[in-house]
Amino acid sequence: MRASALSQLAADDGDIIKSMQYFSVYDKEDGWFGALHNLNPGEGYMYHGQQPHDLYYTESRGCVDEETAKDYNWTTDIHDYANNMSIVAVVTLDDEQLRSDDYEVAAFSDGTCLGSTRLLYNERRDRYYALLPVSGKEGMHVVFKLYRSDVGYEYRGPADENCGFVVNGIFGSLDQPMTLHFHGDTEVQEQEFALRLFPNLVKKGGVVRLELPGNDGSVQVEIYNALDVMVDKQIIDGTMLHLSQTLASGIYFIRAYSVPDRIYYGKLIVQ
């Protein structure tokens, strides 16, 4: 349906049409390439063109393609943010470029998935791409994860592999894609959980109790500000977190590493 709906449009190389969940890129040799297969009545889309265009939408209809209907390991609530950006990338694992749609790439900030996609094969270029839509707001710190669906393995990208969120930003192209690097020794099996804090509104220097089911030992706690910069790190015994008097008023995000393979995420407001 996508090609039919845009058949009256003289698209240029690199033009992008996107929803909040998928996007596709135009190539004069290949036509439209990506995970956005249908333009549905009542849903919003944005077109990024290399030059101004007039779009006359046809009345043709289509069904959902199998690619769009694939199961994903991570889910995104597209209603959390009003804006998104688009990443066109190839993916390497241990410096070898991946060549399988068994892999899913996702973007995260503070433990929340901002978007994910399976790798897509481009026959003419003989290459698999990640066309990754990322929801968010200006200045958010974005990191990446990789999931191999056939064996259930999850990998984190290097700590220095990240980018800042840019509203309607476009990073990479089919001819010059970004490269997202992952390494086998970064494979993790952690499960992520919501962290309950009491109280979650506290004064500077206050004490917060963390609810960590099943934990009976020490806990590593990291505190991040709204810019995703770590401002404090503690190893605590038990569940009581003592806040520093130097913390400025504002919103903070807590990461607690508890029993093996569990990470808890929570939010705290300091008055």
Q: Tens of pLDDT along 106-132?
A: 999 988 899 999 999 999 999 999 999
> Between 20 and 179, where is the model more confident?
179
Which residues, in sequence order, are CB contacts of 174 under 8 Å at separation 6+? 14, 25, 27, 33, 88, 122, 125, 129
Q: Which of 21-35, 62-76, 84-98, 185-199 has the highest mean pLDDT?
A: 84-98
Residue type, 129: Y
- Name the average pLDDT for the chain: 83
Written as one string, the DSSP assignment of 211-232 is: E-TT--SEEEEEEE-TTS-EEE
Coil, strand or helix at 39:
coil
Are 97 and 91 contacting, i.e. CB atoms less than 8 angstroms apart?
yes
> For residue range 230-248, what is the model confidence (pLDDT) as tens digits?
899 998 887 889 998 889 9
Q: How many CB atoms lie within 10 A of CB 70?
A: 13
Q: What percent of the chain has pLDDT over 70?
A: 83
Coil, strand or helix at 198:
strand
pLDDT classification of 90: cutoffs 50, 70, 90:
very high
Residue found by looking up tokens 């990073």 in the block: 171
Mean pLDDT in residue range 40-46: 82
Mean pLDDT in residue range 248-268: 82
> For residue range 159-182, what is the model confidence (pLDDT) as tens digits?
556 788 999 999 999 999 999 999
On whether the pTM is more than 0.75, the answer is no
> Between 156 and 60, where is the model more confident?
156
> Between 103 and 12, where is the model more confident?
103
Mean pLDDT in residue range 58-74: 54
Tell me the two tokens of residue 190. 């952690």
pLDDT classification of 188: cutoffs 50, 70, 90:
very low
Residues pairing with 32 in the sheet: 26
Q: Pairing between strand 187-188 and 83-93? A: unpaired
Coil, strand or helix at 79:
coil
For residue 2, give the H/E element and its range.
Answer: helix 2-5
Mean pLDDT in residue range 57-70: 46
Model pLDDT, residue 228:
82
Are 141 and 114 contacting, i.e. CB atoms less than 8 angstroms apart?
no
Q: How many CB atoms lie within 10 A of CB 205?
A: 12
The alpha-carbon radius of gyration of the chain (Å, integer) is 21
Coil, strand or helix at 128:
strand
> For residue range 198-214, what is the model confidence (pLDDT) as tens digits?
898 999 889 998 887 76
pLDDT classification of 190: cutoffs 50, 70, 90:
low
